[in-house]
Amino acid sequence: MADLSAFPIARKWVPQDPTKLQLFSFPTPNGVKASIMLEETGLPYEAHRVTLSDEDVKSEAFLSLNPNNKIPAIIDPDGPGGPIGLFESGAILLYLGEKTVKFLGRDAAAKAHVTQWLMWQMGGLGPMFGQLGFFVKFAGKNIDDPRPRERYVGEAKRLLGVVAGALEGREWIADDFSVADIAIAPWLNALNFYEAKDLVGWNDHPVLQDYLDRFMAREAVKRGMNIPPREA
């Protein structure tokens, strides 16, 4: 039996089977990266619902695993040298890819290509789309100064053009389905939630909808998109 007593988070979100990988998450674009990857790899895991409320993500228990107070985070009881805790969705994708030898590319060159697009999502698409959502759907929409909103709308348009160009003539970002797709597609899908597709010129790039449709049709993606369930 795995001993997770070194992880205070396991006292607030108690594992039923501590031999399984433990996922602490919520179904946001970043959160579902981890759940989709786990579903795609077939690793046995337990999902714990960590809401975005301060009561959860700023709790002492959650901060003990992720001091940056963001989901997702994991504990792998079967880590290298013993149980290991990880936060940051990109790091989790790389770790799980290396653990299972899946979705990182067929060889070193392919892995480099996949990794660059994963880093592009982490450093560009995710942060910029998150700000777009704030200024279009959430509290930022009430700010009188139009410049912040215009900045993120413009940057979202540019980033859509980048990924659309990368997808021309391809089914996936790399030669095969990879962690890059698991990172990128949920953020493209977030434009539906933000009600911002028209605003950022989504229909100017038909390749994007085809790509998103392919992604969302995968059975593992269908399951992972609502793990843990949004509602308790």
Q: What is the pLDDT of residue 1?
A: 62
Domain boundaries defined on the chain: 9-102, 108-220
Neighbour count for residue 104 (Cβ, 10 Å): 23
At the topology level, CATH places domain 9-102 in Glutaredoxin (3.40.30)
pTM for this one?
Answer: 0.97
| Terminal-residue alpha carbon distance, the chain | 28
At the topology level, CATH places domain 108-220 in Glutathione S-transferase Yfyf (Class Pi); Chain A, domain 2 (1.20.1050)
Residues in the chain, pLDDT under 50: none
Report d(CA 37, CA 162) in Å as an integer.
24
């789309």: which residue's tokens? 129
Q: What is the pLDDT of residue 85?
A: 98
Report d(CA 126, CA 28) in Å as an integer.
11
- Fold match flag (9-102 vs 108-220): no
